[in-house]
Structure 1
Amino acid sequence: MNARRIGPPGSGTKAKRPAVARRKAEAKAAGTPAARSPGNFPSREDILAFVAENPGKAGKREIARHFGISGAGRIQLKKMLKDLGTEGLVEKRQKRLIRPGDLPPVFVVNLVARDQDGELLGEPQEWDPEAGPCPKVLVLPSKARGAQPGLGDRALIRLTEAETGFEAQYAGRILKLLERQQGAILGILRFRAGGKVPWLEPIDKKSREIDVDPSDLKDAREGDLVSVTISRTGRYGAPRAEIVERFGAPGSEKAISEIALHAHGIRHVFPREVIEESEAAKPVTLGKREDWRQVPLITIDPPDAKDHDDAVFAERDEDPANEGGHIVYVAIADVAHYVRTGTALDREAHQRGNSVYFPDRVIPMLPERISNDLCSLREREDRPAIAVRMVFNAQGRKIEHSFHRVLMRSAAKLSYLQAQKAIEGIADEKTETLVEGVLKPIWAAYAVLKKGRDARQPLELDLPERKIKLKDDGTVDHVYVPERLDAHKLIEEFMIQANVSAAETLEKKKIGLLYRIHDASTPEKLESLKEFLSTINMKLPSAGGLRPAVFNTILEKVKDSAQSQLVNEVILRSQAQAEYHPQNIGHFGLNLRRYAHFTSPIRRYADLIVHRGLITAMGFGKDGLPEGIEAKLEAIGAEISAAERRAMLAERDTIDRLIALWMSDQIGATFKGRIGGVTKSGLFVRLNDSGADGFVPASTIGLDYYRYDEGSHALIGDKTRETYQLGDQVDVKLVEAAPFAGALRFEILTPGRKGPGGSTYKGRAGSSRPPKRNGPGRDGPGRGKPFAKRSEDPSGDGPGGKSGGPAKLSRAARRAKASKRG
């Protein structure tokens, strides 16, 4: 969610103001004072007021209908909306307009506090840190009967026009309570008074230490990671806690991932009724399904994969009308047969949203009986599947497809490397019988599909993904970058085409679905990218009509140069966040008009919804979409998009903590790295060998004052003009490690590059002096704030970029702030 906050409502008044009245007032202030234009054409003020009154609902069509605009007036309206977007006064979101600072109509909040009247306040689960401080939302209880929320819970809400009070900027009513605070507290067991009095040092640094009941320590020892629940609280004393579970020494992957699960509120224990339902499930027989058991479908996965939800096969099309064409078969595990709407299995999968993957542990969306057994396309075992047969011409364009509900039998289970070696002539005992009849036809089909992909020109970012290899005891062995093979690209392209086919079929049949959408970059992000490219003598064309091919041209120009990684990361950060939504706006990164997730129902709830839609659309059975689901899809999309974001953060935090723990005994060592993020507060440096990220506070760099130049992503010395820019290679020394925070602090050893002389510092109006900087001792080792957290700006369906530092106000926010001052 890339919302932008304009500022606190109701400034200068103690009266409570309804949210809609505030939005109207702010829209009026942001627009021109002119009344309607000649010919009764709406003024900018009229347009902004309408958008403010209809956040997330006002598109060009709705505006034209409301103001009675037709004919040539639509061209004038289009130009006005484009100008408002360029000025930062409105943003486009899923073909609808919102003001910068508005939240979408439906989103997920974390309940974090209570106001002076005791009402719950929430914060959006997803918030762009560049938009400023996270806004507070007054959370009104659901009108439905049932359990009411409390602090620490997570809920799906819809914005309302209720009064917001003094402390909130928005008000919303709960649609659904997603998750309750479990009540368990995670921490390190400590002892005082000669080892006789146990107490807990909470992992959450905001929590106070807690005395622990010594009667049952669950065999926990000093320094062990444990979870506790509060058993009683003395009226004047500290809380008293009982140990619930011992995880052992906090240096193992299990203990570190447990911290991430707790910190992000991820469900990881299946309720008894869910396990009972999964254990009662029975294997599927042929019945009315098509028999595909003789089709030599194979699975190609990582070597350690436990669940296999997709299988593929291909062959040359013998139709003389399609010379050079190929037929591709993709079979996907039929999870919908086992996970029926309204069951405990379905409710749990909905709440989890997706599986979460740690370096040596998976928190599955579905119990193992389903995910690793009945729905896993095991070698030479009968399994139910929903399959798609796709026909491509010689240029790689799909000319037809059809869906089938089948019973299949995987001919072989291969790893990516195993399949790649076999096609390169190094076959093993298993693959030597598959090369001619199975693998070569699959690779021949990929060569054709690759032509279509190259013609489509999706966004081609080159950002290697680093993996952690663990030792037997769960600690880090080493960090590596896995080789990107044609086998990976082949499966990826087959899955993309299957996903496109699913979206096309459901759209044609007018069945509700969740699209996987990826919006184009906002004007603000494009302007920032344009400023950066100008610093390396490159240009970004006009924002109008930008396609991925434009970015690919830039990436190709810097390929194999010292600036390649820098440009890749900056372009990544300019991209929007992909999400699930029932309203289609296409997928910008993949350059596709319609796209849905169909190929991983074992680990993504969105795919399960698409499977049910296909069952309904094709008349495959009675286990399709339930009645009335269309009205709930927007809310479901918001929930599972938030769950996906939460999983990504938990996975990243676990890797950060593991690497920080691994490096904690290397204090004082020097490393080579690259600047991976620049903020007003300092530099983020990624080490070349391990991929570990650490922070260099600006106050520890030399004796100069370093100012942040946003356009060039650099810190520049005000007097010396020494420059540290995103992408620069530097040497650093490890000064401090905080394993449980997942943070490293470095000291930079490499002098900055010399820039042109003279100070160009621009402070507040009327001042030519830079703000007071922290000197030695203020922000040095063990003092102040030595670490800074990074923020993530993922693009499309790829890995996230990392940046951080103080938030940046939008143009509209700066204008509103300036108007209040003067």
Structure 2
Amino acid sequence: MPSKEDVLKFITENPDRAAKRDIAKAFNMKGDARIYLKDILRDLAAEGQVEKRTKKLTRPNALPPIAPLTITGRDNDGGLLAKPIEWSGTEPAPLVLLRRTHKDSGPTVGVGDQILAKIFANSDKGGTPYTGRVIKKLEKYDSSVLGVLRKLQSGEYRLEPVNRKQNEVSIDAEFLNGAEVGDLVEVTPHQKSRFGLPQGKVAQVIGSISSEKALSMIAIHEHEIPHIFPEKVIEQAENAKAATMDNREDWRSLPLATIDPADAKDYDDAVMAQPDTDPANEGGFVIVVAIADVSFYVSHGSALDHEALKRGNSVYFPDRVVPMLPERISNDLCSLREGVDRPAMAVRMVIDANGRKRSHSFHRIMMRSIARLSYNQAQAAIDGVLDEKTERVIDISLKPLWQAYAALKKARDKREPLELDLPEKKLILDDQGQVLKVFIPDRLDAHKLIEEFMIQANVAAAEVLESKSQPLIYRIHDLPSMTKQESLRDFLKTLEITLARGSELRPSQFNGILARVKDTDHEELVNQVVLRSQSQAQYNTDNIGHFGLNLRHYAHFTSPIRRYADLIVHRALIRALNLGPDGLTNTETGELPAIAQNISMTERRAMLAERETTDRLIAHHLAEQIGAEFQARVQGVTRAGLFVTLATYGADGFIPISTLGREYYHYDEAGHSVAGERSGKGYRLGDNVEVRLVEAQPVAGALRFEMLTEPRLLPASLQSHHKATKFSRKSDGRSKSRSSSRPGSRPSGGKPSHVSRKAKK
């Protein structure tokens, strides 16, 4: 007769044949022996060592014999590591080492791919719990279609998809599920037909398309942004207990204050500064940046952690926020509220009178904010306009902060980071969710102060982790590629500005160019072109520095409520400095490259979704103003036409090149311009123009305009560029710009890339 240990071992090692009949057959148990086996299995179940899934027995938190997995990274030997796509176990999701032999003829897979795999329990206690063999690579497939419900004159209902690449769907009245014409709905397939449109039924009514909330839901669905927290995540957040003083220093007496936007709902950073009393550092300051201790509540492998990693970051729309963490964590336990004890990770930095850092140290603390201030409120106090709150903290908090910032600014000016002047527009909505106004908020010293304090804290985090040889995720920003440098150099020639050649560019060289065009007609144009020449910032475990900030070591540490990268850095600090038991684990350390890749993707996804929602919102607002005339600026030039941005709303729209005039227009990529073949007159990036709205598509967020401003004679340098381009095309028998600009031709092309100054950092 087998023992309980024998039976348990068999179930563990044979998950694909662990039904009671299989176990009895394996141990040759017949007759009364089956009653003995039944008793063993009952005891194992009572002890929680096995559980029944369908007709088979399995170990709790065990993977099934075949499971869909996501490849998350590699082990030290280069082997691929994977995790289950969906995991409902009480323990962290187990790792699977994918094995492959020379006989395998399966698909080629890599990090980030989703696969279906055969799972094998690993008897090697020192290795991964499971090994796996790839059965097939899973293709991404979404059967639902998001769109607007329309009714034809014939009485038939149709779905107009948000994604114009998808086909319309026919819906019978019996499958409307309460939806009304004009509603934004999610439709799933009902039946397929070889002829005609696919049939569907309404699965979910999201809301009227006239609602701004529906417009943000389009982006959420289209980009597959997780926006509903699973019950297990909510339950874990609601059951979280407030932090205690264990492993913490008591800093509740320090004058730490939060300075945030007036409409902020969570406060994850607090700051303070004091003159340094060390006689050897005359004129120096002690600066403290305290950041909410999210890692205390979100431990590796928990349901909260799994969901936060999947989201990667919070996403901010004009009408809503899709948070990375539930409100119980982000707006309550981890929000540094005024007068309330809150756990934090703090960095104490000592700087000299010229803003150079002399030392820094990290601490796990308990703090109590003395004041919650807005940027405008803090700035007004420094400018002499005090209210009841700022009068109380002006001397102990605000004045020392501004004095310390004055010192830091000296070091910043000497460092010379890239100083692009690109104001960010903000949308204000009314109670119905419609655009009320678009404005550019003032750029205050209060904003710059907090920004510089956060940058210095991020630098300190990267430096201390490097000094401890602790793996981490850096925030990196590469210098412009050689191709982009050459393109920028050609453009600047048209303005008689030179840019030195070589791979050792510095931000100061760009700043010199921007200074030359300051307060000229070319200022905004050059700022835009310099921005487009820059690489995109990203997360990576390999450090190449941050070109834009001109820093050699940089990691995101200051926003763990809304960025998973910062949570990783917090855990790395806890591990490296022995600040508690909840630091970065060995497993997590091995996954850092995959995590960096994932959160870089979610960041790009969020930026795109936010921009598209703004475009849809403004297109909806302008849909009733067809024929209206607007002042605009040319923000993009392509072979297909011009992209313009309205001065009033900041909305982007398109002017097909075929509508510009009766002559052919030639496109000059280096000069960012188009010019008429006969007249030599045209348009270029940065031109102020007048346009008329011809078409607005709110669902797609698309606006089409026609040009009202007559073309102007371009500078001589640009005319020579156009002639050279035209000659080279004719000499080799090609004339692409000619054919693409023929009246009546179909425009093509996409929007130029817009990367905000904040996102770059």
- Flag whether TM exceeds 0.5 (same fold): yes
Name the aligned partner's letter for residue 187 of structure 1. G
Q: Distance in 2 between matches of 1:161 and 1:797?
A: 47
Partner of 2:439: 480
Partner of 2:147: 187
Counterparts in 2 of 1:162 and 1:718: CA distance versus 1, 3 Å: farther
SS of aligned partner of 2:110 = strand
Partner of 1:380: 339
Partner of 1:364: 323
Partner of 2:277: 318
2:274 corresponds to 1:290: no
Q: Distance in 1 between matches of 2:731 and 2:101?
A: 38
2:401 corresponds to 1:442: yes
Task: Kindly provide the CA deviation profile for residues 634-683 of structure 1, in whole angstroms up to 9, marking residues without a partner as x.
Answer: 11111110110010000000001111111111111111111111111111
Name the aligned partner's letter for residue 790 of structure 1. K
Q: What pairs with 1:736-775 in structure 2 (closer than 5 Å)?
A: 736-755=695-714, 759-760=723-724, 761=726, 762-763=728-729, 765-767=731-733, 772-773=738-739
Check conservation: 1:694, 1:743, Cα contact below 8 A.
yes
Partner of 1:588: 547
Instruction: State the 1:184 CA deviation.
Output: 3.4
Partner of 2:41: none
> Which deviates further from its counterpart, 488-497 or 213-222?
213-222
Instruction: State the 1:286 CA deviation.
Output: 1.8
Tell me which of 587, 603, 628 is aligned to 1:644: 603
Partner of 1:717: 676
Instruction: State the 1:499 CA deviation.
Output: 0.3
Instruction: State the 1:744 CA deviation.
Output: 1.1
Q: Distance in 2 between matches of 1:733 and 1:361?
A: 31
Partner of 1:199: 158
Partner of 2:12: none
Name the aligned partner's letter for residue 145 of structure 2. I
2:371 corresponds to 1:417: no
Counterparts in 2 of 1:746 and 1:451: CA distance versus 1, 3 Å: same
SS of aligned partner of 1:359 = coil
SS of aligned partner of 2:345 = strand
Partner of 2:224: 265
Name the aligned partner's letter for residue 147 of structure 2. G
Structure 1 unaligned runs (5+)? 1-140, 149-157, 801-822
> Which deviates further from its counterpart, 788-797 or 325-334?
788-797
Instruction: State the 1:231 CA deviation.
Output: 4.2
Check conservation: 1:213, 1:243, Cα contact below 8 A.
no
Check conservation: 1:576, 1:795, Cα contact below 8 A.
no
Name the aligned partner's letter for residue 346 of structure 1. D
Name the aligned partner's letter for residue 438 of structure 1. S
> Structure 2 length normalisation: TM-score?
0.80
Partner of 2:14: none
> Which deviates further from its counterpart, 228-237 or 315-324?
228-237
Q: What pairs with 1:331-730 in structure 2 (closer than 5 Å)?
A: 331-730=290-689
> Structure 1 length normalisation: TM-score?
0.74
Partner of 1:276: 235
Q: Distance in 2 between matches of 1:706 and 1:613?
A: 56
Partner of 1:778: 744
Tell me which of 750, 753, 757 is aligned to 1:789: 750
Task: Kindly provide the CA deviation profile for residues 577-613 of structure 1, in whole angstroms up to 9, marking residues without a partner as x.
Answer: 1111111110000000100000000000000000000
SS of aligned partner of 2:339 = coil
Instruction: State the 1:789 CA deviation.
Output: 2.7
- Would you say how many aligned residue pairs link Structure 1 and Structure 2? 642
Check conservation: 1:578, 1:796, Cα contact below 8 A.
no
SS of aligned partner of 1:745 = strand
Q: Distance in 1 between matches of 2:436 and 2:545?
A: 42
Q: What pairs with 1:103-114 in structure 2 (closer than 5 Å)?
A: none
Counterparts in 2 of 1:308 and 1:162: CA distance versus 1, 3 Å: farther
Name the aligned partner's letter for residue 309 of structure 1. D
Instruction: State the 1:229 CA deviation.
Output: 2.5
Q: Distance in 1 between matches of 2:272 and 2:572?
A: 24
SS of aligned partner of 1:740 = coil
SS of aligned partner of 2:591 = helix
Q: Distance in 1 between matches of 2:174 and 2:212?
A: 29
Q: In terms of Rg, which structure is larger?
A: 2
Q: Distance in 2 between matches of 1:547 and 1:690?
A: 35
Task: Kindly provide the CA deviation profile for residues 316-365 of structure 1, in whole angstroms up to 9, marking residues without a partner as x.
Answer: 11111000101111100000000000111111111111000001210001
Q: CA RMSD in A?
A: 2.9
Check conservation: 2:659, 2:743, Cα contact below 8 A.
no
Q: Distance in 1 between matches of 2:393 and 2:691?
A: 50
Q: Distance in 1 between matches of 2:111 and 2:248?
A: 42
Counterparts in 2 of 1:650 and 1:771: CA distance versus 1, 3 Å: closer
Check conservation: 1:578, 1:797, Cα contact below 8 A.
no
Check conservation: 1:573, 1:795, Cα contact below 8 A.
no
Check conservation: 2:657, 2:741, Cα contact below 8 A.
no
Structure 2 unaligned runs (5+)? 1-78, 87-97, 116-138
Partner of 1:155: none
Q: Distance in 2 between matches of 1:559 and 1:249?
A: 46
Check conservation: 1:469, 1:477, Cα contact below 8 A.
yes
Task: Kindly provide the CA deviation profile for residues 688-709 of structure 1, in whole angstroms up to 9, marking residues without a partner as x.
Answer: 2221111111111111111111
Tell me which of 173, 177, 189 is aligned to 2:110: 173
Instruction: State the 1:193 CA deviation.
Output: 6.3
Q: Distance in 1 between matches of 2:461 and 2:675?
A: 51
Check conservation: 1:161, 1:171, Cα contact below 8 A.
no
Q: Distance in 1 between matches of 2:101 and 2:466?
A: 34
